[in-house]
Amino acid sequence: MKWLVIALAVLLFLLMIVLATRLTIYLSYDHVQDNDHLKLELRAWFGLFRYKLKIPLIKIDENSPTIVLKQEKQMGHQKKPSKEETKQYSAEDLLNIFKDIKEILTHVIGLHKIIRKLLKKITIKEFEWFTVAGIGDAAYTGMLIGALWAVKGSIVGVISLNMKLKVMPKINITPNFQRAYSQTTLRCMFQFRIGHAMLAGIKLVKYWKGGKPKFRSKALSVFSGDKTKSV
């Protein structure tokens, strides 16, 4: 009985540590013409836990209407990626993702309140977004730059309204009047406690209505309970 109490106390202590752990996420995205690089890095416990996900190649397949993603995963302080894989996503896959989002919106009561409360717990500690764009025509380039400023201003406004923005966002758009050109650099660092994310997940399950979900995308189909048969 004594050892059982000690074991439960240790498990409870570890659970409290996990719930109170602050997870830091670094997001880096670079786009230059047809080259796209996306990098996500998760850190916790002062860097003792690290997980890196690199997507160095995002392109449209020339032989089929699909998007090709090349991913590299790295755990801890490894010098080389632990796993590399290439995935293809068709228009049907993207459509299924939107249908799954609609499924969640339909079945979860007060989903916007759950998301809003979670966003309020997220702290933005770094936000930089620089863009160079041009169409080749000075007049149309000026119109494009104005539209981009409006989009960026709206996004920063939404972030500042729903999250804890601790730094002044650094945003800039440089026009290129000589030729058609597109380049974007985005750097963002944000933090939240794992306990807040787990609480949001529990609320999603608690306020679910309407029976089992019917997810269509590969990422969420495992939760639907559907069994597919192959011919």
Q: Count CA atoms within 13 Å of residue 2 on its CB side.
A: 0
How far, in Å, are 93, 96, 114, 215 from residue 104 at the CA level?
Answer: 17, 12, 12, 9
Helical spans, DSSP H, in the chain: 2-20, 91-107, 111-120, 138-162, 194-206
Domain parsing of the chain, residue ranges: 21-107, 108-210
CA-CA distance, 43 to 62, in Å (whole number)? 37
Please state, in angstroms and rounded to a whole number, the distance separating the CA atoms of residues 1 and 139.
Answer: 80
Tokens of 153: 């201003």
Which residue, among 218, 197, 220, 188, has the nearest Cα to 39 in the 3D structure? 188
Spell out the per-residue pLDDT of the chain, length 231, in tens: 778 888 888 888 888 888 888 999 999 999 888 778 888 899 888 878 888 887 766 655 555 556 666 666 666 666 665 566 666 666 666 677 777 777 777 777 777 888 888 899 999 999 999 999 999 888 899 999 999 999 999 999 999 999 999 899 999 999 998 889 999 999 999 999 998 888 888 888 787 776 666 666 655 554 555 544 333
pTM of the entire predicted model? 0.71
